[in-house]
Amino acid sequence: MATPYRVLFCDLRSDQLLDALPVQGVALDDYIGKTGRLTGTVPIPNRAMAERARRAILPGRTGVWVERGRELWWGGVLWTLALASDSRGRLGAQIQAGGWESYLYRRLLFDTQTADGVDQFDIVRGLVDYAQNTRGGDIGITYDTGLVGVPRDRTFTRYDLNSIGDLLDDLAAVEDGFEWRIASFRDRDGRRVKRLQLGHPVIRTGASDIVLDHPGPVLSYTWPIDATAKANGWQSRGASINKNQAVDSYPLTSPVLVAEDDIDAGWPRLDGSSDYTTVERQTTLDAHARADWTAARNPVTIPEITVLLGGTITPALLGATIRIRIRDLWHPTALDARYRVVGMSVTPPERGRPETAQLYLEVP
């Protein structure tokens, strides 16, 4: 028998429960490095349900938690509501929510912040504190106080009006950076928790590998090979270095980086670039350029596998290492390798549809 799902609608700031409403056609996903999403439809069969939905579904101020049994599998901010009526007069409230990270992309930096030789994890926590210490800005994001030992010099100016989420992404993307996400779970006392999770250089969870076979628990897979993003030549551009508007203005640029070993191995020259219009320091721009160039030389491949849910397959797998074994016509000698789970898309069971999950994998 399938484990039941329950969707809780709570006040975003206090986390006080408003209601637990039935939601049809639920689809939810969660990622490392990308904001997850939940979609579904609350059926409105009568006036009583309409009144409950009106009180609980308040886009922009309602938080959403998804329970599977007693475990929390997802959490985020409800952003949109679309009422829809079909030709038979059946009414439904179509909802869409973004993971807790989506809130930080809706918060702007209105005060200049400066860090000199500060651990990059402390810079992250300082930006989250800035968002939550403003009146009405605390949505209950918590964190631990561990350090990574990578000091940074940064000035985030209020004139750029950057979002907190974008600033975290830019800080994470530099050379020797990190990954971040906001996880949802229950603590030992049963309380709902929104926890900022940081990992250097990546987020890793779990102590032992989970083995998945195809044919077997892996129902299907897609394994892309894409060179459209590959580049072995690279240059990054920063802010304008000429503040005199009466003369031509030119951006700060990094050195042109070329992977000579790629060329020697037979690859054609493939060029790429990136822009950091708010970066004014040469050392910071060069660190961005090296990180982008390193990533572009071997673009990240994100294979997808579809598995049945249950047992060890839960959202807690994000950041965990799994072992995939595939034997088919393309892999006659069997693929047997380890991959990190960087995303998960869950499809709950409904009307005979099995409960499945798509796992998105990072090729090492």
Query: What distance in Å separates the CA atoms of residue 235 and residue 109, rounded to the nearest whole number?
Result: 28
CATH of the domain at 9: 2.30.300.10
User: pLDDT tens digits for the chain (364 residues)?
Assistant: 456 789 999 999 999 999 999 999 899 999 999 999 999 999 999 999 999 999 999 999 999 999 998 889 999 999 999 999 988 889 999 999 999 999 999 999 999 999 999 999 999 999 999 999 999 999 999 999 999 999 999 999 999 999 999 999 999 999 999 999 999 999 999 999 999 999 999 999 976 788 999 988 899 999 888 889 899 999 999 998 776 666 677 899 999 999 999 999 999 999 999 999 889 899 999 999 999 999 999 877 789 999 988 778 888 899 999 999 999 999 888 889 999 999 999 988 877 778 899 999 998 6
Residue 135 lies in a domain: yes
Let me know whether 308 and 179 are in one domain: no
Let me know whether 90 and 122 are in one domain: no
Number of separate domains in the chain: 4
Let me know whether 358 and 216 are in one domain: yes
Residue 192 lies in a domain: yes
Residue 331 lies in a domain: yes
Let me know whether 119 and 259 are in one domain: no
Question: What b/e string do you get for 144-170 counting C-beta neighbours within 10 Å, with b at 16 or more?
Answer: eeeebebebebebeeeeebebbebbbb
Residue 165 lies in a domain: yes
Query: What distance in Å separates the CA atoms of residue 286 and residue 255, rounded to the nearest whole number?
Result: 7
Query: What distance in Å separates the CA atoms of residue 250 and residue 270, rounded to the nearest whole number?
Result: 24
Let me know whether 353 and 280 are in one domain: no
Let me know whether 20 and 90 are in one domain: yes
Task: Single out the residue in 265, 297, 329 at which a domain terminates.
Answer: 297
Let me know whether 120 and 85 are in one domain: no
pTM comes to 0.87
Residue 316 lies in a domain: yes
Residue 342 lies in a domain: yes
Let me know whether 131 and 194 are in one domain: yes
Let me know whether 52 and 161 are in one domain: no
Let me know whether 109 and 92 are in one domain: no
Let me know whether 279 and 310 are in one domain: no
Residue 204 lies in a domain: no
Kindly give the residue spans of alpha helices, DSSP state H, lying in the chain.
47-56, 101-104, 120-133, 164-173, 260-264, 282-297
Let me know whether 63 and 168 are in one domain: no
Cβ distance 254 to 289 under 8 Å?
yes
Residue 86, CA distances (Å) to 54, 66, 83, 185, 275 in order = 19, 27, 10, 37, 47
CATH of the domain at 188: 3.55.50
Q: Domain residues for 276?
A: 233-297
Query: What distance in Å separates the CA atoms of residue 103 and residue 176, rounded to the nearest whole number?
Result: 26
Cβ distance 319 to 206 under 8 Å?
yes
Residue 205 lies in a domain: no
Query: What distance in Å separates the CA atoms of residue 318 and residue 313, rounded to the nearest whole number?
Result: 10
